[in-house]
């Protein structure tokens, strides 16, 4: 990721560019070797190649090899897009996180609740946007209901670009209420996912108690000693 980021800087010396290209080919060779070994090691190589991480592995090495096959200055933009696909390499880190499975399960369990929450937010956006269109009108920049809904999204998410702002007292009062509502809305998805994470940890017999000495968590429910430092729980 450092190599990919540094390559986009302007004014790099030829020496630095050559070093980056060398490192890129070293990384590409390692990723290619890893991909081949994974296909040779698994029992169903085709299934792995079509899986999520199989596609990620392929995207991690394919752009560098394809850049050789697309020569010519007229295709520089295509090569740039292909090489930027290397950012998918960072997704490979998820394979080495034991917590990734727990997080995935929590997100799946929270899908329905989050969808209901998003539908409620969408209803609020439509209502607030329509009110602001009626109150402010085209004279204050609210030229249509979609534009007013865009303002509602920006305000409700507490982003606040400031390109459109209410001018009338009632519009400003309504905007203040939407801003305050936005702070409460932001915390809802976090609470839903956190609740599912805690429920999943309890279901798998994992305690949320942390070690009083080193602070390590993730112990078994019946654990007496810390799994890291050995201190008594």
Per-residue pLDDT of the chain in tens (233 residues, 90 and over written 9):
778 778 778 888 989 988 988 988 898 888 889 889 988 888 888 888 888 778 877 877 777 787 777 664 444 445 556 556 666 667 666 656 556 666 777 777 788 888 888 899 999 999 999 999 999 999 999 999 999 999 999 999 888 888 899 999 999 999 999 999 888 888 787 777 777 777 765 555 555 566 777 667 666 667 778 777 778 87
Whole-number Cα distances in Å, 26 to 13, 64, 95? 20, 11, 21
Secondary structure letter of residue 110 according to DSSP: T
3-class SS at 54?
Answer: helix
Q: What is the CA radius of gyration of the chain?
A: 26
Q: Are the C-beta atoms of residues 174 and 132 closer than 8 Å to each other?
A: yes
108-203 classified as CATH 3.40.50.720: no
2-96 classified as CATH 1.10.260: no
Secondary structure letter of residue 220 according to DSSP: B
Whole-number Cα distances in Å, 71 to 75, 79, 95, 147, 199? 7, 9, 34, 44, 54
- Domains of the chain by residue range: 2-96, 108-203
Model confidence pTM above 0.75: no
């Amino acid at each position: 990721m450092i190599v990919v980021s540094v390559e986009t800087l302007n004014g790099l010396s030829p020496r630095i560019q050559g070093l980056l290209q060398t490192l890129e080919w070293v990384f590409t060779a390692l990723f290619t070797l890893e991909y081949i070994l994974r296909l040779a090691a698994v029992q169903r190589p085709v299934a792995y190649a079509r899986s999520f991480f199989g596609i990620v592995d392929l995207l991690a090495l394919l752009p560098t090899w394809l850049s050789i096959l697309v020569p010519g200055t007229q295709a520089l933009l295509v090569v740039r897009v292909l090489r930027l696909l290397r950012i998918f390499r960072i997704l490979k880190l998820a394979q080495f996180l034991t917590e990734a499975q727990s997080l995935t399960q929590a997100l799946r369990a929270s899908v329905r609740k989050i969808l209901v929450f998003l539908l409620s937010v969408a209803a609020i956006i439509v209502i607030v946007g329509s009110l602001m269109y009626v109150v402010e009108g085209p004279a204050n920049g609210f030229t249509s209901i979609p534009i007013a809904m865009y303002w509602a999204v920006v305000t409700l998410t507490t982003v606040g670009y400031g390109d459109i702002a209410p001018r009338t007292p009632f519009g400003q009062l309504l905007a203040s209420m939407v801003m305050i509502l936005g702070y409460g809305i932001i915390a809802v998805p976090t609470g839903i996912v956190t609740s599912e994470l805690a429920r999943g940890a309890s279901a798998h017999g994992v305690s949320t108690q942390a070690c009083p000495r080193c602070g390590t968590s993730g112990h078994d429910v019946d654990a007496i000693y810390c799994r890291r430092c050995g201190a008594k729980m």
